[in-house]
Structure 1
Amino acid sequence: MMSLFVLNITTWSVVIVYFWFEGILICTPLSISLFRIFHSSEDIMTNTMMTRFGSL
C-alpha cells in the first residue's frame, strides 16, 4: 500500500514537472512574440506621431 502511494506521488510529480516544462516551452516564445509585437506597435505609434508632428 505504501509503495503504491509513493509510486503515485512520483507519477504525479513527473506529470507536473512535464507539464510545467511544456508550459515554459510554450509560454516563453508566446510571451517573447507578444513582447515584440507590443514593442513594434509602440514604435510604429511613436513613428507616426513623430511624422505627424514633424509635418505640422
Structure 2
Amino acid sequence: MPIFEFRCLPCGTRFEKLQKGDTTELPNCPICGASEVEKVLSPFAATGNSKCTPIG
C-alpha cells in the first residue's frame, strides 16, 4: 500500500496516510479532525551512487 500526503484546508497541517491506491475516500485531519483535506503531490527523491560506463 502506498503512502499518500495530504494537507488540511482549514488548519494547513500536512500529514501522511497509508491507504490503498484505488480508494477515493479522503482521511480526516489528525490535528483538527476536519474532513476538508486535499491530496498533495510529494516530490520524488532518488538517492544512491551510480556510475555510468560508456559502451564500446
So what's the TM-score if we normalise by structure 1?
0.23
Q: Which has the higher contact order (CA 8 A, sep 6+)?
A: 2
Larger Rg: 1
Which structure shows the bigger proportion of residues in helix conformation?
1
Which structure shows the bigger proportion of residues in strand conformation?
2
